[in-house]
Structure formats: structure tokens, C-alpha cells
Structure 1
Amino acid sequence: MQSPRSVTHAVRLLAAASVVAVAVSLPPSVAAADGGPAWTAAPSGSGGGDGRPYFYLEGVAGTVFEDKLALTNTGSKPHTVGLRGTGEGAGAWIVLATPEVKIPPRTRAEVPFTVTVPPGAAPGDHPGAIVASGAGRETDVRVHLRVSGPRLAALTVEDVTVRSRGDGAVIGYALVNRGNTTLTPRLAVRAEGLVGGELLYRSPRTLPERLAPGERVERTEPWPDAPALDSVTVRLTATAAGGARGEATASASFVPWGTVTGAALLVLVLGAGGGAAWRVVRRRHGKPPTTDTQPPTKPERHLAQAGATT
């Protein structure tokens, strides 16, 4: 149920919808060039390239923001443009004065809208957008809404995997924004082998994603020169502004069964520990790991004892 204040502002918006019909004629110099877009959408007052590239709103929970979206028809034909809010947070709180606008040629129309922040909204960033569509194209104007209050920057690295691929490997992982502010993560990658020592080190670099609060993104890291024979531990460290830091590891074994020698296998087996040694040996002989209680044969008993003494 809407609060009385929200209803009041919704009524005011509907009353203000007449502003949409009061279009501003554009001078011939603003007319669309051949091949250009038939219409454009931007925050009101951002004409001339020196205005707002997006909407930025900041206030406490319960605030009702008011602003205007400018739609400019630079062509010689009228166009009808549909409007809607999108995204969680601010996108769900947007109420437009009208869901559709018919814009005459060489005319700009300004559409009022409100963003009503619920009283219980958590502090932090709540991004959204206004989507405009028509004449075979669609564009969105971003709405950056920040609810005042304590900010928490928190980032986790999850579901790390290492998989062989061709002559190398690929590292898979997920980044999750666990805080209430938008993050631009940086990632460092390190891999150490049982035989080869440090095998991979990639210093921290900024990733292209911006993670909204609660957002999860899955990514991969190629590793073209992964070892052919080794047991490795991969460590991923993600950081972001505000002290956010997350770290996770994964282990994998690279064993080329078709060409591995007995001596190399023994080094890998004994270095991996008793339990791992037993599993590798059983697989090498084509037998799946079991939990039976039968005593091992003499060769297997010898290997099991060798693994237990490491």
C-alpha cells in the first residue's frame, strides 16, 4: 500500500503530465543529421554536452525525489516513445508521468517522474534506469540513487574451479558484492605447484564489471601455460574501495596419464600425501576408489604404507 505522501506525489505527477505536451521547438541547427538517431533521451538540462550524463539522487530513506527526462526528436517525422523504469532498487521505485510520449518533429518533450524511496530502504547504492524505446531502437538513462546511512563495502570470491582445456587450463570463479555500495573490483591471481613452486602470478588489475549491492558475476581466467604434471593450488584475491577484500583457493592435479613416467608419478604421489597417493594409484590401475574392508594385495599394501610415512 502506498503512503499518503506517495499518493500525493503520484497525483501531482499526473497533473504535471500536461508539461509533456508543452514541447520546445528546436532550431534547425539541432536537426538530426543523416544516419543519426531519430530521437534521444537524457536527463533534463543536459543539452549541449555539458549537462548530466545520468540522474544522481541522494537522500535518506522515505525521501521522494522529483526530476525530468528530456526526449528530443531531431528528425522530420513524429515519433512515439515508450517509457518504463527498470532494475531493482531505484528502477522499481520510479513512477513516470506517462508511459508513452508522441514527439513532433524537431521538438523536445520533458517528462516528469518521481523516485519514492521506501522508509525501510537500506543505506547504500540502489541503481536503476529509465528505458526509452521507439522507432526501432531502445536506450536507457541510468539512475544512481544513494540512500544515506552507514556504508559497508564487502566482497567475496566464490566457486573457484580449475579445469584443463587443450594445452592449458581455465580458472573459473564468481564475485559477489555482499555490501551496500557499488564496487569496482580488482583481482590478483597466484598459483603454486608441488613440483614447480610458483607457477603463476598476475598482479592486481581492475576488472570491467561494476557490482551493485547483492550482485553476483561469474568470470574465467585463462591459463595457457598451465603445467603438464603437477599438483597446484590457485589463490584468487579480490579487493575494492572501502576496504572490501575477498579470497578463495582451489586445488587441481595435472596428470598426463598417457606419457607420465613411473618416477614422475612417484614424486607426485608421495608429495601429495598418503590419502591422495592411494587414490592416484588406484586410478592408474583402472580401479575406482573404494571403501571396502578387504586387505590390499602386496604391491598395493607397500604403496599404501609408503604414502602413510610421508
Structure 2
Amino acid sequence: MLLALLFSVITLVLFAPVAFTEQAQLPRDIAWGITPAANEHGGARTSFTYEARGGETIHDAVWITNHGAEVLKLRVYGADGTTTASGDLTLQGSDEPSTSVGAWVQPETSNITVAPGETETLHFTVTVPENIAPGDHMGGIVTSLFSAETAAVALDQRIATRMIVSASEGATVSADIRNVDLGVSTAWNPFAPVNTTIRLDIANTGNTLIRNEVAVTSNSVVSIADTQRIQESDELLPEEHQPVEMLVPVWPRFTQAVEIQLTPVSTSGVVGEVVHESVTVVAIPWGQIAVLVLIGAAVSWYLVHHRRVKRDRQTASVLQ
């Protein structure tokens, strides 16, 4: 039996830029969009955000607009949020069971038909469990168009809008630095610092969705100010980790301390405890050593040559 090869094109509307997985060629006349409906929860929302209590049932709606020329028959369901290996936020696939927000979402219908140029309103509920854990819980409302092009190839295009359900009581904002790794270039230029690649993992040890500011500082020997690089990471879910890579110039001085500072900030603006870590960069100043060797060789040649000339002059004076 021929196994079907499934290509999935996923568009996630998540505050951040649109994210894609593997892409297959889709019909150009098929296009749609979804956005939170204007109601008592807000009039110009880009995603669903709720401050919830345990046992509460939230009623909301989403607008689904058909921008194409064909009638659309879409599946609608909830999905949990997750983090990719590269640290990007995304939603679980349709074949993965939801245990959090995706399981709490219940659309009024699991299938909807939208005519070309029309917008349909789809109502849904979010049933918050009585024992909801403190912090942020992320998922989304997913609309999916599945079509079998051939017996061997199927297309599954999904467009989703993010949803965050927050239980602020007991929420914590914290992060940690893990798995620090250094890559140091060879220091051939005696008059310039070497590029040092610092790789590390940021672990969200709290229970809220956070962004992190990573600052790396190395002491400079040619100016009063230190050399500092600052980088902001993407959003990170609780109990997830995210790789970060930074390029920092370090003056080669055999060994040198580099300070890493991590500042976690929740999406609501709460700043967590700042984390500090010091690492030692080993950078042998080959260029400076070569310059010193050349200077030493030049001085030695000069001294030997000067003594030889002086001796020759003394010898000539005696002979006269």
C-alpha cells in the first residue's frame, strides 16, 4: 500500500513574524484569514488574551474571512502552544493531543463553510479548569484546509491565532543560563580583538511567558569603557528552553573573564530577578607574541651588530 506523503503549511499569527514549516505548492486562488471578533473582550485585537480564574467559562468569537475565489470548507479546533528546537513559538500539529489551552477550547462547530469574499463569525468557549496552574498557558484557535491532490500527496494548510490564558495569582518571572559554550578565533592581528562566539541556552524556570535580554560584557584594554553586546530573545514558554548565540569582541590576554547577564521580562512588563554568570575566555595573543619575537630578534641583531662593529674598530685602531 502506498503511504501518503503529507506536506503541511502552517501560518501562525503570534505577535511575532509569521512562521512556516515545510512548504508545498498551494493553489493561488485559495486564501483566507482569521482575526479575533470585536466584542466585550476588545475591538482591535491581534490575539486572544484572558485573565482567568479556575472554573470560569469564557465566551468569545473569531472572524474567518475568505479572500479567495473558491468556497472554503475548514476544520476548526484548539491546539496547545509549544517551542521548536530553534526556540520559536508554534502550535502542536493536528495529530498531537492537547492537554492545556487546546483542550479547553470548544468551537461551536468543528467545520465551517465560508463563501468567497465573505466573513463568518465562529463562537467558541474556553473552559478553565478548577485547578489551573498559576502563570501563562498558550495555545490557539486553528483553521485547517485539508485536500488530497493525488494518492501520494496531500496538502494541509493551517492558519491560527494565538491564545494566552493567564492565572496571575502565584505567577513567577524567572530564567536561568545553561550550557554555556565558547568559540574563540585565532588572535593573529596584534592590534585588534578576536571574535568570540558565545552559545548558551535560556531556560524559563518561571510559569509566565517571557522575553529575555542577554548582555555580554568583556573588559577592554584600549578604552575606558567595556565592550558590551546586548541581544533580546524571542518569547519563551514556561519550562521551555531557547538557544542564543552572540558574537563578542574580546582582547586576547591568555585568559579573560566575560560577564553574562540575563534579564527576564514577562509579556505584562514584570521584570524578574537578573541572572549573572562569569565565564573565562582563553585567547592566546599570537599576533602580539609574534610582534614581541620580532622586536626581540631586531634588538638582538642590533646589539650583536653593534658589538661586532665596535670590535672591528678597536682592532683597526691597534693595527695602526
| TM > 0.5 | yes
Structure 2 unaligned residues grouped into runs of 5+:
1-27, 82-99, 147-154, 187-193, 294-320
Q: Is the 8 A contact 1:158 1:248 kept in 2?
A: no
- Mapped pair 1:139 → 2:159: yes
Find the aligned partners of 2:176 and 2:38 in 1 and give their Cα distance: 39
**Structure 1 counterpart of 2:196:** 169
**Structure 1 counterpart of 2:112:** 101
Residues 110 and 117 (structure 1), Cα distance of their counterparts in 2 relative to 1, 3 Å cut: same
**Structure 1 counterpart of 2:279:** 250
Find the aligned partners of 1:121 and 1:163 in 2 and give their Cα distance: 43
Return the offset for 1:37: 7.1
Q: Identity of counterpart residues, as a percentage? A: 24
Describe the superposition over 1:126-166 as per-residue Cα deviations: whole angstroms up to 9, x where unpaired: 12111223387532211121114122111212222211246
1:201 is aligned, of 227, 234, 253, to 227
* Aligned AA (2:276): E
- Mapped pair 1:82 → 2:70: no
Return the offset for 1:249: 2.3
Structure 1 unaligned residues grouped into runs of 5+:
1-34, 265-310
Return the offset for 1:97: 2.9
Count residues with an aligned counterpart.
Answer: 225
Return the offset for 1:125: 1.2
Find the aligned partners of 2:195 and 2:252 in 1 and give their Cα distance: 8
User: Secondary structure at the residue paired with 2:142?
Assistant: strand
Describe the superposition over 1:274-296 as per-residue Cα deviations: whole angstroms up to 9, x where unpaired: xxxxxxxxxxxxxxxxxxxxxxx
Find the aligned partners of 1:83 and 1:107 in 2 and give their Cα distance: 17
**Structure 2 counterpart of 1:62:** 55
Return the offset for 1:207: 0.8
1:169-188 alignment, distance < 5 Å: 169-188=196-215
1:38-57 alignment, distance < 5 Å: 38-45=31-38, 51-57=44-50
Find the aligned partners of 1:228 and 1:242 in 2 and give their Cα distance: 35
| TM-score, normalised via structure 2 length | 0.60
Q: Name whichever of 152-161 and 110-119 sits farther off.
A: 110-119
Describe the superposition over 1:256-287 as per-residue Cα deviations: whole angstroms up to 9, x where unpaired: 679956x99xxxxxxxxxxxxxxxxxxxxxxx
1:232 is aligned, of 238, 241, 256, to 256
Find the aligned partners of 1:112 and 1:38 in 2 and give their Cα distance: 21
Describe the superposition over 1:179-224 as per-residue Cα deviations: whole angstroms up to 9, x where unpaired: 122222222211248x889995326x4614122222211101112x
* Aligned AA (2:227): Y
* Aligned AA (1:207): E
* Aligned AA (1:144): I
Over the aligned positions, Cα root-mean-square deviation in angstroms equals: 3.3
User: Secondary structure at the residue paired with 1:126?
Assistant: strand
Find the aligned partners of 1:99 and 1:44 in 2 and give their Cα distance: 18
| TM-score, normalised via structure 1 length | 0.62
| Structure in which a larger fraction of residues adopt helix | 1
Find the aligned partners of 1:39 and 1:141 in 2 and give their Cα distance: 13
Find the aligned partners of 1:139 and 1:147 in 2 and give their Cα distance: 26
